Chains A and B, each alone.
Chain A
Amino acid sequence: GAGVSQSPSNKVTEKGKDVELRCDPISGHTALYWYRQRLGQGLEFLIYFQGNSAPDKSGLPSDRFSAERTGESVSTLTIQRTQQEDSAVYLCASSLLGLAGTNTGELFFGEGSRLTVL
């Protein structure tokens, strides 16, 4: 597709259930990012994938959160045993080149997956 695609756009789940959120980046983009945005708040960094290198997982808030990426394509963010504080919009973004040595910082964002935990 032309842009970053995320699914589902909305997810309502019960506390304690597991959820999977999917991100299809722009074709050819080597860098992929996940952010969390609570209502009225900023973007909280979760995880960053760059090509085939080990991902930067420094933003994952707990071991209930994990993410995978297959090569330079689809990524899945999994939240296990969801809690009410996990309710937020989860934003995925991709970039053509993420490493230093490029002179662009442009990320292309998807529309997000809105997660509501009851």
Chain B
Amino acid sequence: GQSLEQPSEVTAVEGAIVQINCTYQTSGFYGLSWYQQHDGGAPTFLSYNALDGLEETGRFSSFLSRSDSYGYLLLQELQMKDSASYFCAVKNSWGKLQFGAGTQVVVTP
């Protein structure tokens, strides 16, 4: 089976940096993805890591360590619009994508 763990909520002020950790257990691991979901909206893709290391996309970066079954999403220069839920998701070799329970990020002025 598959399981993912991430914190339920993180609060930070505008301009700060937030790191959301994700640990996973799965068979046939192929990659780790991150999605953002605003209240009432559909999830949208942020990043994908198949290899160890850091992927940077603007203010957001994602990291993966396959040996540690661990990854994180780094949000820099936080803005109010970044208030949302963030989900990590593991992809197995068959293509199935399993999501974590999500981390609610609250950005305060």
Contacts and interface: CB of A to CB of B under 8 A. Distances in A.
- Binding between chains A and B: yes
From DSSP, what is the main secondary structure of chain B's interface residues?
Answer: strand
Given A42-B99, A43-B43, A105 B94 contact: no
Interface string B12-45: 0000000000000000001111010000011111
Interface residues of B, number: 26
A31 B92 CA distance: 14
A106 B45 contact: yes
Contacts, number: 72
B63 interface: no
A42 B95 contact: no
B97 A33 contact: yes
A41 B87 CA distance: 11
B102 A111 contact: no
Contacts of A43: 43, 87, 89, 99, 102
A100 B43 contact: no
Interface residues of A, number: 29
B50 A103 contact: yes
Interface string B72-105: 0000000000000001010111111111111000
29 contacts: A31-B95, A42-B99, A42-B101, A43-B43, A44-B99, A45-B96, A45-B97, A48-B95, A48-B96, A50-B94, A56-B96, A97-B95, A98-B94, A98-B96, A99-B94, A99-B95, A100-B30, A100-B94, A103-B31, A105-B31, A105-B50, A106-B33, A106-B45, A106-B48, A107-B33, A107-B97, A109-B42, A109-B44, A112-B42
Interface of B: 30-33, 35, 41-45, 48, 50, 87, 89, 91-102
Given A33-B97, A45-B96, A107-B33, 4 more contacts: A42-B87, A91-B42, A99-B95, A100-B95
